[in-house]
Structure 1
Amino acid sequence: MAGNGNSGRTGKPAIVHLVNGNPGRRKQAALQDEMNSPAVPVGAPPKPDWLTPLAGEEWDRVLPDLLTLGLISTLDMMALASYCEAVADYQMFSAQIAERNAAMQGRGDVQTFATGAKQISVWRQLRNDAEKRANQAGAQFGFSPMARRNLRVTAPPQGELFPNEQKDAALKYF
């Protein structure tokens, strides 16, 4: 059925339009209104206590940038945790592959069976799976290289350089 609610590209957040230079030429006022009143408030989700130490490090690494860009909400805990765990698995499996290759003089990536058949090692298969999971989960936050290809990074908004007593007084009463 053509023209139903599921057809067409999925919508992008207003911040992504602005960071990309507004290629669709949407009205600036509409984009600013959407940014100032998002459907889901921007905020840091609580860090799950079940994350592995490596996943916790990845969480701490990416969360400030996601907050700065306004691409994360308190509802996004599971999506970010999935990404962080996949990255942690990738790092762990890469270490196992390096250790195995060192022990076997570089022949640790291929298993050879008694019949002479060869197969990629289980560690390499697990690492490849972790890479796919990390890429899929990271794509939800714009972590893929294709999402960044046309990205024009702008400086984050700067705070007040000098004290502004009039503004502080006005904010106290409103």
Structure 2
Amino acid sequence: MKGTKPHLRTDSAAMKRAPAVPKWLSADAKREWKRILPDLIERRILTDADLGSLENYCIAIGQVREMERILQTEGHVYGAESGLLKRHPAGVILSDAMTRARLLAVEMGLTPVSRSRPAIRDDDEEDSLLD
């Protein structure tokens, strides 16, 4: 890529300290909260407005881990009354939770690709690019 990279700035409303882990999260979701929060605080991108997305991301990751444990224990299929094999319902929940977690991870800059994209530009620099 030619040219100068945009000047990135942190959000002035970004949290400087980590909020407490919500007590109502599952144990898996609490572990994920504690794992990712230091990075979000250090990068100064997390604001009060983002807490709902952070909670939803942690819930989704918690569900992924819980459903995977169920599938490892009970298997991915089960025998229905008709004698046919059916997909375990935990597989559907797992798939949905993985999709939600991936989408939320991108929104919060938790993936390598999303971290490499410029998120916030100075207004002056953006205007100069249009000239």
The TM-score normalised by the length of structure 1 is: 0.55
Runs of 4 or more off by more than 3 Å in structure 1?
Answer: 44-47
Counting matched residue pairs gives 114
1:41 aligns with 2:8: no
> How many Å separate the matches in 2 of 1:23 and 1:84?
38
3-state SS of paired residue (1:119): strand
Distance of 1:42 and 1:119 partners within structure 2? 47
Unmatched segments (≥5 aa) in structure 1: 1-21, 101-107, 152-174
Q: Note closer, same or farther for the CA distance 1:54–1:119 as it changes in structure 2 (3 Å cut).
A: same
| Corresponding residue for residue 68 of structure 1 | 42
Q: Which residue is equivalent to 1:25?
A: 4
Q: 1:63 to 1:56 in 2, by over 3 A?
A: same
- Matching of residues 11-160 of structure 1 within 5 Å: 25-26=4-5, 31=7, 34-35=9-10, 38=11, 40-43=12-15, 44-100=18-74, 108-113=75-80, 114=82, 116=84, 118-147=85-114
**Percent identity of the aligned residues?**
25
Per-residue CA distance 1:74-132 (angstroms, 9 max, x = gap): 221110000001001111111111111xxxxxxx212344163x432111111111111
In structure 1, what is the Cα distance between the partners aligned to 2:65 and 2:54?
A: 17
- Which is bigger in relative contact order (C-alpha 8 A, separation at least 6)? 2
Shift of the alpha carbon at 1:69? 1.5
Structure of larger gyration radius: 1
How much is the aligned-residue C-alpha RMSD, in angstroms?
A: 2.7
SS in 2 for 1:142: coil
> How far apart, in 1, do the equivalents of 2:76 and 2:105 lie?
26
Taking structure 2 as the reference length, the TM-score comes to 0.71
**Unaligned segments of structure 2, at least 5 residues:** 118-131
